[in-house]
Amino acid sequence: MLEIKNLHAAVDGKEILKGLTLSVGAGEVHAIMGPNGSGKSTLSYVLAGRAGYDVTSGSILYKGEDLAAMSPDERAAKGVFLAMQYPVEIPGVTTLTFLKTALNAQRRARGEKEVDAVGVLRLVREKAAAMKVSEEMLKRALNVGFSGGEKKRLEILQMALFQPALAILDETDSGLDIDALKLVAEGVNTLRAPDRAMLVITHYQRLLNYIVPDRVHVLAKGRIVAEGGKELALKLEAQGYEQIIKDAA
């Protein structure tokens, strides 16, 4: 599904990712853990195609295609989804209008028939109930005045609505209390599927108690320095990043 080879990437000319290699297969959930400044968010933005996050060498293949050559909207239409750490507030665009516009833009790009207003509302309601996103929230401006938990729930609702093939979750646990965390994790777990890959990027092991990964990668200074099964996350929690990074060196 996703093949990253010797990826070097720079933000505003400064190299952040320095030879990152990673492979995620269909049906798998991989966790990327790392201390602050290790390049976790850079990786997520590079995968989503944010301007200013430039691939300087190496390759990213998604379903065999060169991901870096695609615009952010092309990536989304082809099934790449990034649940952001800080979802953006957009005054003047209601949440429902946004969901309808995005869903139909993706469908149009894939040559599928657009869904009418009633159809979108039905689809959204179906997903919203599970994520405890109220009708009132759907009518409000996108993310404006939403709590941290509400924003994250809306990100997972979008993931459920768009049904991506590759989902990247960037620090989805940050700012969540335990109940919100469980709800979000449950939402993510329902979306685990044989034809879907997930990359869970997190600083803390906490989220991985609820979203149990198949593989854990440790990112430090722009490279993967350690890899293992889910037990690696527990080891990190017990020993701290410093020890693991030192052992790996």
Partner 1 sequence: MNALVLPNRRIEEWKYTDLHNAVDAEAVSSAPTAAWAIARAQGDLDIDDLPKQVPFGPHGLMAGLAASLAKAGPSIRVRKGEKASLELDLTESGNGRVLIVVEEGASLTLIERQVVDGFINIAAEIEIGKNARVSHLRLVPRGDAVRVADYAVIVAAGGTYRAHLADFGGKLSRTELHMVLEGEGAEAHLSGVSILDGVHADVTTEMNHAVGNTRSTQLFKYVASGAGRGIYQGKVAVAEGANGSDSRQSAKGLLLEDRAEIDLKPELEILADDVKCAHGAAVGDLDAESLFYLRSRGIPEAEARTLLMRAFIGDAVDQIESEALRDTVWQAVDKGLEAMS
Give residues in contact with partner 1 (CB under 8 A): 48-51, 71-73, 75-77, 82, 84, 87-88, 90-93, 98, 101-103, 105-106, 109, 158, 162
Shortest spacing between CB 105 and partner 1, in angstroms? 5
Nearer to partner 1, 97 or 209 (CB): 97
Nearer to partner 1, 53 or 241 (CB): 53
Taking the C-alpha atoms of residue 141 and residue 56, their distance in angstroms, rounded to an integer, is 37
Shortest spacing between CB 131 and partner 1, in angstroms? 16
Taking the C-alpha atoms of residue 145 and residue 226, their distance in angstroms, rounded to an integer, is 40
Shortest spacing between CB 47 and partner 1, in angstroms? 10
Nearer to partner 1, 52 or 194 (CB): 52
Residue 42 CA to its chain's centroid (Å): 12
Cβ contacts of 25 within 8 Å, gap of 6 or more = 1, 197
Which DSSP string corresponds to 13-36? Answer: TEEEEEEEEEEE-TT-EEEEE--T
- Token representation of residue 86: 């800080």
The distance between the two most distant Cα atoms of the chain, rounded to a whole number of Å, is 57
Nearer to partner 1, 84 or 180 (CB): 84
Shortest spacing between CB 93 and partner 1, in angstroms? 5
Shortest spacing between CB 190 and partner 1, in angstroms? 20
Nearer to partner 1, 62 or 241 (CB): 62
Apex 19 CA angle, 13 and 23, nearest 5 = 125
